[in-house]
Amino acid sequence: MIFFYKVKDSQGKIIEGEIEAKNQFDAINKLKLQKYSIISVNQSKRKKIKTGKVSLKELTIFSRQLSTLVSSGVPIIQSLSILESQIENKNFATVISMLKKDIESGLSISDAMAKYPNVFEELYVSMIKAGEVGGILDTILDRLATYLESAAALRDKVKSALMYPAIVGGIAIIVTVVLIIFVIPIFKNIFSSFGAELPFITRVVISISDLLKAYILHIIGVGFVLFYAVKKYIKTDKGKRQFDYILLKLPVFGIIFKKIAIAKFSRTLATLVKSGVPILQALETVAKTSGNKVIEEIILSSMKSIREGGKIAEPLKKDNIFPPMVTQMISVGEETGSLDTMLFKIADFYDQEVDASVKGLTSMIEPLVMVFMGIVIGFIVIAMFIPMFQMGEIASKQG
């Protein structure tokens, strides 16, 4: 428990701060041992301080360096001072400076880090706490660095899976819209002096062009309103769940999102279990950091199953999100007491699967976009050139 205190030192100076203790009586005793005169000691509600975010790379380097310093026998306060002087990110350096003050005032490292959720997320804090309790903080920090490196690699795979199709598809749409709005009207002016009735396909293309030119601002406005409304709806619990469920069921992309979710779940849970975090606390942390509402609900079902004496694997079969191979390996891991090993194997396997899927998607998108562009542009070209041929025939007859 955390207690907020207000005390006087031997010189009569008033000092305020936080201290970790089993109860209020224990907190008072700890302060008295430091020769303080007690003014007040009350249970403190943890204040979470908002700070700018720190990149995964910076947090990884920090974890690796702090692990090296701690394993070398350098006291934690001194280690943080060394790192503070080396960090270029001023925001991160400020957070480390505040960490030092919190630890010096009596807070544990994990409780001090919990005050800065924008920098140290729940998973990070849970593992640090396990490292403190087990006396293996250096080992935990090293595992955290390894985990963060894997998480960064997985995030980059997600970006590459989405970025390439988005860019290529966006260019294809822009080219098509430019053709319809700016090129078709030129042909329309030519055809207006033609006099004869235009073919159906040409009339359709010209109608689409007129519609876009007349209502382009309205279409963009409606698009923005719909985007804002959907974004707002997704922020609700119901909307978030539906959106996440649709993502996992999408053709082609859904399979990649599912593999990414399984890889993240497996690696996170494996890292926590191996670090000595109790299974229920580990599952709760994994659920909160999963980033997918459907996965979160399934993991919470596993927690309920464990509380009732069941296994983790059974609830994971829900909604067919986790393939039979995954649930079977987890079941074997539970039976043999090697759950973390099995989870790491699953994570490694699905990391490779994500790599293969992203490469396959990238190689598939290019020809699909070429086909799309060929069909659209071909349709426009045919629509514009049929009347040109008719004009040639009429001109030859008149000649």
β-strand 14-20 against 37-43: which pairing, if any? unpaired
pLDDT computed for residue 389 by the predictor: 72
Q: Output the tens digit of pLDDT for each of the chain's 399 residues.
A: 667 777 887 777 788 777 777 677 777 888 888 778 887 777 655 556 666 678 888 888 888 898 899 888 888 899 999 988 888 888 888 888 888 888 888 778 888 888 888 888 878 888 888 788 778 888 888 888 888 888 788 777 777 767 777 777 788 788 878 888 887 887 777 777 666 677 788 888 888 888 888 888 888 899 899 989 988 888 888 888 888 888 888 887 788 888 888 888 888 888 888 888 788 888 888 887 777 888 888 888 888 888 877 788 878 877 678 888 888 898 888 888 888 899 989 988 988 888 888 777 777 777 777 787 788 778 888 887 777 776 666 555 544
Q: What are phi and psi of 278, to 5 degrees?
A: -55, 145
* Beta bridge partners of residue 18, listed in sequence order: 4
Ranges assigned E (strand) in the chain: 2-8, 14-20, 37-43
Torsion of CA 353, 357, 360, 365, to 10 degrees: -170
Q: Reduced to 3 states, what is the DSSP secondary structure of residue 36?
A: coil
Render 316-336 in DSSP notation, one character per residue: GGGGG-S-HHHHHHHHHHHHH
Q: Cα dist. 19→105, 222, 245 in Å?
A: 6, 55, 44
Among 221, 186, 234, 225, smallest CA distance to 206 is for: 186
Q: What are phi and psi of 312, to 5 degrees?
A: -70, -40
Q: Reduced to 3 states, what is the DSSP secondary structure of residue 377?
A: helix
Length of the chain measured in residues: 399
Q: Is the dihedral of CA 268, 53, 254, 252 positive or negative?
A: negative
Q: State the Cα–Cα distance between residues 242 and 78, nearest whole angstrom.
A: 49
Q: Cα dist. 82→54, 95, 97, 116, 381 in Å?
A: 18, 14, 11, 20, 68
Q: State the Cα–Cα distance between residues 308 and 228, nearest whole angstrom.
A: 43
User: How many alpha carbons fall within 13 Å on the CB side of residue 235?
Assistant: 5
Specify whether the backbone of 13 is left (phi greater than 0), alpha (psi in -120 to 50) or beta: beta
Rg of the chain, C-alpha, whole Å = 31
- Crossing angle of the two packed helices 137-178 and 339-398, in degrees rounded to 10: 10
Q: Reduced to 3 states, what is the DSSP secondary structure of residue 231?
A: helix
Residue 182 gets which letter from DSSP?
A: I
| Burial status of residue 4 (CB atoms within 10 A of its CB: 0-12, 13-18, 19 or more) | middle
The overall pTM is greater than 0.85: no
Q: State the Cα–Cα distance between residues 240 and 265, nearest whole angstrom.
A: 18
Residue 44 gets which letter from DSSP?
A: P
